[in-house]
Amino acid sequence: MTRLVGWRILLVGVGGLAMVLPAAHISGQDTGPDTGPGTGAAAGPMPDLRWRMIGPFRGGRTRAAAGIPDQPNVFFIGQVNGGVWKSTDYGRTWNPIFDGAHTQSVGAIAVAPSDSRVIYVASGEGLHRPDLSVGDGIYRSADGGKTWEHLGLREGQQIPALAVDPTNPNRLFAAVLGHPYGPNTERGIYRSEDGGRNWEQVLRKNDRTGGSDVVIDPKDPRTLYASMWEETLGPWEDGNSYPGTGGGLFKSTDGGTTWKQLKNGLPENLVQINVAIAASDPQRLYATLSTTGEGGYASAAGLGVYRSDDGGETWRKITEDARPAMKIGGGDLPVPAVDPLNPDVVYSASIVTVRSIDGGKTWMSLRGAPGGDDYQNIWINPLNSKILLVVSDQGAIISVNGGETWSSWYNQPTAQLYHVAATNTFPYQVCAGQQESGSVCTSTRGNDGAITFRDWHPAGIIEYGYAAPDPLHPEIVYGAGRTEVSRYDMVTGEVQNVTPLPVRKKDFHGDRTEPILFSPVDPHVMYYAANHLFNSGRSLTSNPFHRGSSSSPSSRVWAAAFSSSAVGGSSACSSSP
């Protein structure tokens, strides 16, 4: 979304907010180097412009995690729609290293164990959820992330896992999930022997079943485990998942040339499975899985944590504790990880990150809110298992003492912001819903020489919603998503739900993100759209509402101005001049 405010142009992305300003008007507020054009003479009335980061520095959903074992201060993370970031100081600061790629959707990162300069990135977050993003294949860096080369598998779109041979940086495997909304042929498990320049499909089921996980035995690189996942999404939001049992867990003992399906002890109605190998005892495997059984958020129904002690030949369910098995908010299956030095210590990145020290029988909550919930992945340093990198819907955090203390997630400008709007103030604020973290209004300049943590604040908007600052009362910010309309007062901090749909009715349908805006003709009138268009104000309807000039009302009078017979909501609305 683009909005012109004077000569300032605001654009929203998925890695925080950036602002374009006239070069002549930029002072000491810069928080980073120039990243766009802005050195030539202005053409016409538009002044010369350049980008400046305005935050917020609050992490967004992060799926991929990796590190360098013999450089314990170095970590890599991949946002589902914010690129790849690198830290060289144990997570104190993060820097983007993937901005030149054609996609910023990242599902997996793998550092070659035998040559840490070689890094592979799989694009497409590899998740089936209402707000997914897709990528365009595999990327490779041979210089530690300074430069990148695109390698192929472009039609894979979703690549959730990579595995690199521990003895050969040019030999790797990719789990290619494929198109989320329909069939395609480029899906399954792929192998490359030449650093990703050529790929061979070594495990395939059909055009609707893709690869969802692949791991290599660290002591025997000819032994691999891979999982296949059959599921198709419908092009709508709720109830759009169509899973099948045509996938499963597979094992290869000849380097991926042939595969055997592992079934003994696993549920017959298996849908999806993630697997982890105990590096110190590769016969020990752990898996989290889902079935066709009915379940829901914060429930382990239809889910489970399983263990094998014979290289996958037999399996058993090891715990009735729901926490390590529960899917997170978007429906993502937990990811297991095993301490590389102790096969009895296992982690599960679930709604919270949990840990077991007795081989999966009992569990303890290790990390949850504040500082993140709905955890996505975990990387454990194989040389020092007290060093943990955990990524979640709120970014990345690091522990160097086995989880006793953690770094901050308030240092990553990787927020997913779908829609923005500006207040009529100086300095003006930019407001938006932030996926996974609620909302934000951030100032476009700070009083202390930089935009800091003190210059932004949550704004009560639903996480994927539109923002609509009141043009007559800029301390009031409205937001919309689903059937909720929020009203936030910056002065008092009060948040109210002032929706015209306080009770859901069969004739009204709301999607995840619903538009809300003030009329540019009459600032007393505000519009909100679901499958009906509502207006609150004194125009267009016979339901007048006069708004005083000195205060903003705590509630509004709504009237339906237009209704649509289509099932589902509106994605945009605008007012005619």
Alpha-carbon distance values, 122 to 100, 103, 158, 193 (Å):
15, 10, 8, 17
In this structure, which amino acid lies at residue 363?
W
Encoded tokens for 506? 């069969």
* pLDDT, greater one: 508 or 381: 381
Confidence band (pLDDT; 50, 70, 90) for 540? very low
Q: Is residue 132 part of a domain?
A: no
d(C-alpha 114, C-alpha 145), whole Å: 16
**19-23, 56-60, 549-553: which has the highest mean pLDDT?**
56-60
Encoded tokens for 30? 């810069």
Q: Is residue 511 part of a domain?
A: yes
pLDDT tens, position by position, 376-432: 999 999 999 999 999 999 999 999 999 999 999 999 999 889 899 999 999 999 999
d(C-alpha 142, C-alpha 356), whole Å: 37
pLDDT tens, position by position, 116-145: 999 999 999 999 988 889 999 999 999 999
**Is residue 567 scored above 60 in pLDDT?**
no
d(C-alpha 160, C-alpha 16), whole Å: 23
Encoded tokens for 383? 């040389």
How would you classify residue 408: left for phi > 0, otherwise alpha for psi between -120 and 50, otherwise beta? beta
Confidence band (pLDDT; 50, 70, 90) for 372? low
Q: Is residue 535 part of a domain?
A: yes
Segment 207-215 shows an average pLDDT of: 98
On whether both 398 and 469 belong to a single domain, the answer is no
On whether both 409 and 470 belong to a single domain, the answer is no
Q: Using alpha carbons, select from 441, 482, 468 the residue that is nearest to residue 537.
A: 468
* Edge-to-edge order in the sheet of strand 188-192: 161-164, 172-176, 188-192, 200-203
Alpha-carbon distance values, 451 to 32, 455, 574 (Å):
11, 6, 32
**Is residue 49 scored above 60 in pLDDT?**
yes
Confidence band (pLDDT; 50, 70, 90) for 568? very low
d(C-alpha 187, C-alpha 205), whole Å: 9
Non-local (6+) Cβ contacts of 310 within 8 A are 283
* pLDDT, greater one: 111 or 543: 111
On whether both 394 and 498 belong to a single domain, the answer is no
Domain boundary among 392, 414, 436: 414
The domain total for the chain is 2
Q: Is residue 267 part of a domain?
A: no
pLDDT tens, position by position, 140-165: 999 999 999 999 999 999 999 999 99
Q: pLDDT at position 6, please?
A: 33
Q: pLDDT at position 18, please?
A: 64
pLDDT tens, position by position, 224-283: 999 999 999 998 877 889 999 999 999 999 999 999 999 999 999 999 999 999 999 999
Place of tokens 């007795």: 358
Confidence band (pLDDT; 50, 70, 90) for 27? very low
Q: Is residue 540 part of a domain?
A: yes
Q: Is residue 261 part of a domain?
A: no
The size of the chain, in residues, is: 577
Segment 104-127 shows an average pLDDT of: 97
pLDDT tens, position by position, 174-203: 999 999 999 999 999 999 999 999 999 999
On whether both 467 and 577 belong to a single domain, the answer is yes
Q: Is residue 170 part of a domain?
A: no
Residues 521/575, Cβ–Cβ less than 8 Å: yes
| Three-state secondary structure of 307-346 | EECCCCCCCEECCCCCCCCCCCCCCCCCEEEECCCCCCCE
On whether both 487 and 553 belong to a single domain, the answer is yes
d(C-alpha 365, C-alpha 355), whole Å: 6
Q: pLDDT at position 479, please?
A: 95
Segment 75-97 shows an average pLDDT of: 97
Q: pLDDT at position 482, please?
A: 86
**Is residue 87 scored above 90 in pLDDT?**
yes
On whether both 491 and 574 belong to a single domain, the answer is yes
On whether both 465 and 570 belong to a single domain, the answer is yes
pLDDT tens, position by position, 315-360: 999 999 999 999 987 789 999 999 999 999 999 999 999 999 999 9
Cite the DSSP H helix spans in 3-116. none
d(C-alpha 103, C-alpha 118), whole Å: 20
Q: Is residue 209 part of a domain?
A: no
pLDDT tens, position by position, 448-501: 888 888 899 999 999 989 999 999 998 999 999 888 999 999 999 999 999 998
Full-model pTM: 0.88
On whether both 474 and 559 belong to a single domain, the answer is yes
Full residue range of the structural domain in which residue 86 is found: 59-99+384-414
On whether both 565 and 465 belong to a single domain, the answer is yes
Provide the sign of the torsion angle of the four alpha carbons 64, 70, 72, 73, taken in this order. Answer: negative
Residues 354/365, Cβ–Cβ less than 8 Å: yes
On whether both 484 and 564 belong to a single domain, the answer is yes
On whether both 409 and 469 belong to a single domain, the answer is no
What values do phi and psi take at 454, rounded to 5?
-75, -10
pLDDT tens, position by position, 512-525: 889 999 999 999 99
Alpha-carbon distance values, 115 to 144, 346, 442 (Å):
10, 27, 42
On whether both 492 and 563 belong to a single domain, the answer is yes
Mean pLDDT (the chain) is 87
Alpha-carbon torsion, ordered 12, 15, 17, 22, to 10 deg: -90
**What H or E segment, with its residue span, contains residue 440?**
strand 438-443
Q: pLDDT at position 510, please?
A: 82
Residues 130/116, Cβ–Cβ less than 8 Å: no
Q: Per-residue DSSP letters for 78-105? A: EETTTEEEEESSTTS--EE--TTSS---
